[in-house]
Amino acid sequence: MKSKNQGLTLESLRDEVIGIDTKIPLLDGTERRYVFLDNAASTPTFRSVIKCIEEFLPWYSGVHRGVGYKAVVATNVYEQTHRIAGEFVGADLNDNVVLFGKNTTECVNKLANRFSFKADDVVISTMMEHHSNDLPWRKHCRVIHVGIRPDGGVDLDMLKTEMKKHAGKVKLVAVSGASNVTGICNPIYDIAEWTHAVGAKIFVDAAQLAAHRKINILPNDDPRDIDFIAYSAHKIYAPFGIGVLVGPKEFFALGAPDLVGGGTVSYVGLDEVEWGNLPQKEEAGSPNVVGAVALAEAITILQSVGMDVIAKHEQKVLEYAIPRMKKLNGIRIYGPTEDVSNKVGVIPFNIDGMDHALVSTILSVEGGIGVRNGNFCAQPYMRKLLGVTAEEEKMKRAARCDNPSLPGMVRASFGCYNNEEDVDIFLDMLNRIIRKEYRGKYVIDSITGMYSTDGYEPLAAHRFRFFDERFVPTKSEEVA
């Protein structure tokens, strides 16, 4: 299946986004085009991705081991999607293997499970990390969390100090390519070189980086190469349940896979098992072939436009938005606001004196704008940015059953299709909120921490066929 996306531009790419012109009801009874500024959580998809899936589905079949015509076609396509996913991050597929999972979280857990950690081994991570690049390592060994600077960036001097201090015991350094909270990009190639100098491996969580910057993990013999990297399809315009893990073949060839069962073996006796070849050995069960096809098509679309072109455009949108936000009274932006050349399109903020959940709700109900609020699955980082002391944290933890509105932020995040018009709509609504010009009388639910207002029931009128209005979503402990 060959891509038909040659010659795409940023302008035509916006038209490719499914739902770009979807209108939603507002509190005042009117409708407005939905402005989606929640791309750091999950992106929409492209029309070409759906078309590609439709073209593939007549050939869909179970992959591997089948000799039926459709099985042969589907297997070939599925294997090519691995190649496309690996080449997207510059992987030399003679030395590296591409493994598919459900998402980045599952991929990180797989990697953590496949390391042979000893009791005194150390993983060095940072306070910036998403919980999914923190908690999996804690299951296996000691994790040292490097602190952050006042601007939200990782304290690189502290990182180098910890590496040298624990040289010989450091098994892995696990860092984000870009923060899902502030958008700050880490100098992953410098960190890789420092990591290799102390005899350790590096893992880069690229979930927030892959859609926004060109990535090249470099050859395995390069001192700055990235040993392991993971990213998710749902954050790069293919929300169909695929995560990607790339790493050295020699690493995954050793030992048993973390998940075993169908597809992972070449021979099974009552007392003996021989594991299969990569990548099948590490992809237990029937794989998500359609999700892999969607990922491959989304990648070809982004590459057709050009990752450097996308990065430049998103930088322009960010540089348009932040100075204008800073002019609004009572807005507190977290992370860098002057030189934003080293961050992707994420803006975390609060309005003085207002609950982050309330701000998010008003933006949606009265502005038709989708953002996200909460802790973004990065609670240690969030508390540090907010300046929450250890004593305050202890008190809030003790009271959280009675106080669902814990400290957090609002996050606006841009994709390759967002433009200055989207920013203007967002800023206009923010200004109305600051001036208390919103219409609704909002009430917080003491259990869920969610806000509602009388006269607004969008779910009853706008729902998908499987929506059941008897069950409405509630706010969970974490919001990714």
d(CA 47, CA 83): 23
156 burial (CB, 10 Å; 0-12 / 13-18 / 19+) is middle
Nearest to 77, CA basis, from 60, 95, 94: 60
- Range list of H helices, 378-457: 379-386, 390-399, 420-434
Cβ-proximal residues to 70 (8 Å cutoff; 6+ apart), any chain: 59, 60, 61
Tokens of residue 194, six digits: 């420092």
Rg of the chain (C-alpha set): 23
The 3 state secondary structure assigned to 160-180 is HHHHHHCCCCEEEEEEECECC
3-state SS assignment for residue 98: strand
Contact 340, 311 (CB under 8 A): no
d(CA 9, CA 348): 29
**Residue 342 Cα distances to 12, 226, 399, angstroms:** 27, 19, 38
Active site residue 377: yes
Nearest to 261, CA basis, from 279, 232, 285, 244: 285
- Range list of H helices, 47-183: 47-56, 69-87, 104-114, 135-138, 156-165
**Residue 316 Cα distances to 260, 343, 420, angstroms:** 47, 12, 9
d(CA 309, CA 94): 29
d(CA 222, CA 471): 53
d(CA 434, CA 436): 5
Nearest to 291, CA basis, from 110, 107, 77, 132: 77
Residues comprising the chain, all counted: 480
d(CA 397, CA 12): 48
Write out the H or E segment, with its range, that includes residue 365.
helix 356-367
3-state SS assignment for residue 343: strand
Out of 107, 377, 401, 416, the active site residue is 377
Using DSSP bridges, classify how beta strands 122-126 and 170-176 pair: parallel, antiparallel or unpaired: parallel
Tokens of residue 239, six digits: 């929300």
Residues annotated as catalytic are 377
